[in-house]
Amino acid sequence: MPPNQVDLDHPLPRKVAVFGAGGKSSLARAISQKMNLKFIELDWINHMPGWQIRPPDDANRIVRERIESSPDGWIVDHHTPYLCQLIYQKSNR
């Protein structure tokens, strides 16, 4: 198979982080629906009412709980630097 083609019979990953400058949430939501994965929306987690920023320790705890409650797979719209390590660790298991 040429290197620029995808083998659609190959199992796709079930723990996914979507990166980008715009459209992350829309793409992550679409993939989650198509693949029946839990969608973990970081904007919702990071921003409390009135667009107040949630403390990083609280956000980390919430993301960890959601990831761990979805052992069969999840997708996150990633853009939060202090959550990188957690997301990378959990996506490689």
pLDDT in tens, 3-54: 777 777 878 788 988 988 889 999 999 999 999 999 999 989 988 999 899 9
Answer yes or no: pTM beyond 0.75.
yes
| Domain spans of the chain, in order of start | 15-91
Confidence of residue 55 (pLDDT cuts 50, 70, 90): very high
Separation of alpha carbons 71 and 93, rounded Å: 10
More confident residue, 82 or 29: 29
- Please report the beta strands in 7-67, taking only residues with DSSP state E, as ranges in sequence order: 15-18, 38-40, 47-48, 52-53
34 burial type by CB count under 10 A (0-12 exposed, 13-18 middle, 19+ buried): exposed
Phi and psi based region of residue 74 (left: phi greater than 0; alpha: psi -120 to 50; beta: remaining): beta
Per DSSP, the three-state class of 12 is: coil
CATH number at 15-91: 3.40.50.300
- Rounded to whole angstroms, the Cα distance separating 34 from 64 reads 23
- What is the reported pLDDT for 93? 61
